[in-house]
């Protein structure tokens, strides 16, 4: 596979491994709504924020959406769109070293994106998907980057028209679109998109219980439609001349209906004889005046659950009331998304106006994405309990889209947002979320209140690194912090539940029971007395893994005084902290 090279690449390909794990602190005063809602807004450079969140969320995120700076060169927006903010400039200087002086704008952008994308990938579930907005400035480079990092994923690029009028560009082409790149994990299954009003209007008939349906021709049209070749699908159906009753068997005096192609030759039905016989009551005959012949249609329901009920081979599989067992919702028919997206709901101008309304008439942020764009992605992903990550949060559109969709479809999606600029994170991202959670007034002369969506989020900041420059555990590190880190480093999976210093058994994963003996540093208390050493006595008192556990017990502690023979006999592996924690 061709890969992209650029100045500085060597310095960044493995850089994600060197990024320190930091503590994450929640700031109640800057949070809003229900803090237990499970949503996070992290203020910090996403490289460090993602690394800090990895031990808690690796392999748990169903959808990532990012809208990184497009590298337009514009430095006058509320954020810097030239990979030239002081934070990123200094980061590139440190990571790339001397070569950094020779980097072009594009090299810098690629250096910035590579390790961040590399970390993002580790958050995805096997059935998850990554989505990124990007425009022509970096599109061709970005596609290579995504292909390299998300190897084995299915990559799709969707042009998105977000400016119907076209931009007032300097060049001779007026840009009206950008792109959405999607990288779908190997087990990703698209849930499709809800039908638009126009698509729903097609279902213009209603059955006796009021369920909407449309009629489709039972004759096969085009392609494999030759009745002479598919004789078993080219059988007559009989109609009672006095009613719309149909029969598969010939009845004296009934009208014979044969599938005919438009040229009058023998065609074939879409359904086989057995299916026609089974569902004959659902078929609808109609008289075509033009060729003075009868034809037959089948029903396609708007509510696909209604259709399943009718056409199931075993209707007893379905609930009497046609509603989803788990959610109680009627199952709506969906449509396959097109490879090209457009429509006023995706317009950046409209998104800007909507954001201005939220902020009472002042424009806080240039070019926010539309809530509808993110919701289109959320629909595709489907899962109403999905965890969604956006590590270039900007004005917080992704958080808003999640809260709004949850409200409308009773979903329980959660979000994690990361924003680097302090002024944006606090005054725009957090403020917008707070306003939409609590409700706001659109501003202007007449009051126009908008109801709150409910929910909430915790505002978090990044604290010190877990390990200092000598690899020692920092004084501020608590038992649950270190437990999450140790468990992730040992198993590659997030800790199953927040650890409690009352138990040294911090979790089980893949035939490993992981233990941590750790009391945060207490001045003047020897390590052994603090309980940080695996002694013969401590070994005897380790909590037992659940019954039936046959794997190994891995014990992390600062020291060990148990003989290697006894460790072997008890299937215990001792790992010294901090030196034997992988990845520090
Ligand atoms: C194009 S904007 C995102 C806009 C967003 N989709 C919306 O609808 O409002 C990119 C955002 O990413 C932020 N950003 C840039 N580099 C970052 C980094 N390294 N870590 C976190 N955020 C970053 C910028 O400050 C800016 O707010």
Q: Is 255 exposed, middle or buried (0-12, 13-18, 19+ CB in 10 A)?
A: middle
Q: Tokens 């990012």 sit at which residue?
A: 66
pLDDT at 76 (0 to 100): 66
Least confident of 152-166, 189-203, 355-369, 391-405: 189-203
- All domains of the chain, ordered by start, with CATH? 15-83+117-190+336-463 (3.40.50.150), 197-335 (no CATH), 472-576 (no CATH)
What does the alpha-carbon distance between residue 59 and residue 488 come to, in Å, rounded to a whole number?
11
What does the alpha-carbon distance between residue 422 and residue 43 come to, in Å, rounded to a whole number?
7
pLDDT at 376 (0 to 100): 97
Model confidence pLDDT, tens digit, residues 280-307: 988 999 998 888 889 999 988 887 667 6
Question: For residue 133, which atom of ligand 1 is closest to its CA?
Answer: 6
Ligand 1 center to residue 435 CA distance, Å?
Answer: 20
Considering the chain, what percentage of its residues have pLDDT values greater than 70? Answer: 91
User: Which residue lies with its CA nearest to atom 5 of ligand 1?
Assistant: 394
Q: Rounded to the nearest 10 degrees, how much is the dihedral formed by the CA atoms of 223, 226, 232, 233?
A: 50
Ligand 1 center to residue 46 CA distance, Å?
Answer: 9
Ligand 1 center to residue 494 CA distance, Å?
Answer: 26
**Nearest alpha carbon to residue 436 among 385, 398, 394:** 398
Provide the terminal-to-terminal Cα distance of the chain, rounded to the nearest Å.
32
Model confidence pLDDT, tens digit, residues 43-75: 999 999 999 999 999 999 999 999 999 988 776
Question: For residue 397, which atom of ligand 1 is closest to its CA?
Answer: 8
Ligand 1 center to residue 387 CA distance, Å?
Answer: 19
Ligand 1 center to residue 68 CA distance, Å?
Answer: 6
* Residue 245: DSSP 8-state: -
Ligand 1 center to residue 395 CA distance, Å?
Answer: 8
User: Which residue lies with its CA nearest to atom 26 of ligand 1?
Assistant: 394
Candidates 419, 425, 426, 432: which one to mutate for ligand 1, based on the most atoms within 8 Å of Cβ? 419
**pLDDT above 70 (res 169):** yes
**pLDDT above 80 (res 499):** yes
Candidates 393, 396, 422, 423: which one to mutate for ligand 1, based on the most atoms within 8 Å of Cβ? 393
**pLDDT above 70 (res 79):** no
Least confident of 157-161, 448-452, 479-483, 527-531: 527-531
Average pLDDT estimate for 323-336: 60
Residues flanking ligand 1, CB < 6 Å: 45-46, 67, 69, 79, 365, 368-369, 392, 394-395, 397, 418-421, 424
User: What's the predicted TM-score (pTM) here?
Assistant: 0.84
User: Which residue lies with its CA nearest to atom 7 of ligand 1?
Assistant: 368
Model confidence pLDDT, tens digit, residues 186-222: 999 999 998 888 888 888 999 888 888 899 999 998 8
Ligand 1 center to residue 66 CA distance, Å?
Answer: 8
Candidates 12, 51, 77, 79: which one to mutate for ligand 1, based on the most atoms within 8 Å of Cβ? 79
What does the alpha-carbon distance between residue 172 and residue 380 come to, in Å, rounded to a whole number?
35
**pLDDT above 50 (res 399):** yes
Average pLDDT estimate for 358-363: 93
Question: For residue 390, which atom of ligand 1 is closest to its CA?
Answer: 6
Ligand 1 center to residue 498 CA distance, Å?
Answer: 30
The DSSP line for 287-343 is EETTTTEEEEEEEEESBHHHHHHHH-SSGGGS-TT-B-TTT-PBPBPEEPPPSSB--
Question: For residue 395, which atom of ligand 1 is closest to its CA?
Answer: 9
**pLDDT above 90 (res 500):** no
The phi, psi pair for 539, rounded to 5°, reads -60, -45
CA 389 centroid distance within chain? 7
What does the alpha-carbon distance between residue 192 and residue 336 come to, in Å, rounded to a whole number?
5
Average pLDDT estimate for 388-398: 98
Q: Is 243 exposed, middle or buried (0-12, 13-18, 19+ CB in 10 A)?
A: exposed
User: Which residue lies with its CA nearest to atom 17 of ligand 1?
Assistant: 420
């Amino acid at each position: 596979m061709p890969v992209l090279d650029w100045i500085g690449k060597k310095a960044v390909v493995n850089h994600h491994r060197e990024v320190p794990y930091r503590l994450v602190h929640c700031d109640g005063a800057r949070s809003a709504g229900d803090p237990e809602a499970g949503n996070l807004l992290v203020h910090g450079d996403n490289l460090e924020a993602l690394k800090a969140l990895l031990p808690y969320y690796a392999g748990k995120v169903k959808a990532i959406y990012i809208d990184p700076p497009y590298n337009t060169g514009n430095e006058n927006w509320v954020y810097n769109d030239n990979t030239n903010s002081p934070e990123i400039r200094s980061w590139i200087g440190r990571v790339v070293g001397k070569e950094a002086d020779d980097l072009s704008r594009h090299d810098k952008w690629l250096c910035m994106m590579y390790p961040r994308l590399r970390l993002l990938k580790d958050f995805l579930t096997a059935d998850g998907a990554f989505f990124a907005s990007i425009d022509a400035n970096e599109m061709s480079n970005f596609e290579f980057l995504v292909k390299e990092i998300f190897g084995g994923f299915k990559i799709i690029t969707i042009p998105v028209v977000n400016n119907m009028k076209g931009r007032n560009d300097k060049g001779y082409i007026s840009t009206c679109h950008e792109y959405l790149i999607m990288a779908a994990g190997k087990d990703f299954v698209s849930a499709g998109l809800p039908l638009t009003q126009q698509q729903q209007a097609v279902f213009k008939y209603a059955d006796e219980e009021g369920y909407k349906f449309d009629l489709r021709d039972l004759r096969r049209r085009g392609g494999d439609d030759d009745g002479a070749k598919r004789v078993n699908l080219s059988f007559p159906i009989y109609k009672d001349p006095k009613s719309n009753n149909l029969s598969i068997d010939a009845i004296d005096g009934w009208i014979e209906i044969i599938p005919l192609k438009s040229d009058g030759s023998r065609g074939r039905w879409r359904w086989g004889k057995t299916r026609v016989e089974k569902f004959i009551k659902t078929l609808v005959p109609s008289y075509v005046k033009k060729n003075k012949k009868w034809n037959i249609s089948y029903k396609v329901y708007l509510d696909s659950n209604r259709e399943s009920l009718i056409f199931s081979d075993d209707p007893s599989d379905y609930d009497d009331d046609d509603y989803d067992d788990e959610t109680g919702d009627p199952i709506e028919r969906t449509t396959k998304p097109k490879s090209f997206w457009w429509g006023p709901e995706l317009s950046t101008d409209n998104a800007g106006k909507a954001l201005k309304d939220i902020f009472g008439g002042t424009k806080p942020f240039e070019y926010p994405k539309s809530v509808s764009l993110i919701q289109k992605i959320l629909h595709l992903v489907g899962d109403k309990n999905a965890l969604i990550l956006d590590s270039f949060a900007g004005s917080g559109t992704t958080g808003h889209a999640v809260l709004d969709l949850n409200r409308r479809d009773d979903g329980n999606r959660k979000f994690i947002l990361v924003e680097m600029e302090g002024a944006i994170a606090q005054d725009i991202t957090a403020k917008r979320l707070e306003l939409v959670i609590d409700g706001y007034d659109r501003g202007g002369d007449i009051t126009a209140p908008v109801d709150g969506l409910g929910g909430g989020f915790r505002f978090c900041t990044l604290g010190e690194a877990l390990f200092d420059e000598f690899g020692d555990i920092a004084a501020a590190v608590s038992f649950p912090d270190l437990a999450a880190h140790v468990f992730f480093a040992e198993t590659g999976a997030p800790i199953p539940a927040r650890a409690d210093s009352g138990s040294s058994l911090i979790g089980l994963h893949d035939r490993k029971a992981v233990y941590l003996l750790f009391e945060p540093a207490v001045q003047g208390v020897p390590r052994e007395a603090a309980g940080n050493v695996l002694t013969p006595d401590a070994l005897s008192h380790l909590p037992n893994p659940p019954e039936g556990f046959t794997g190994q017990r891995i014990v992390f502690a600062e020291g060990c005084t148990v003989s290697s023979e006894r460790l072997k006999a008890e299937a215990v592996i001792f790992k010294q902290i901090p030196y034997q924690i992988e990845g520090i």
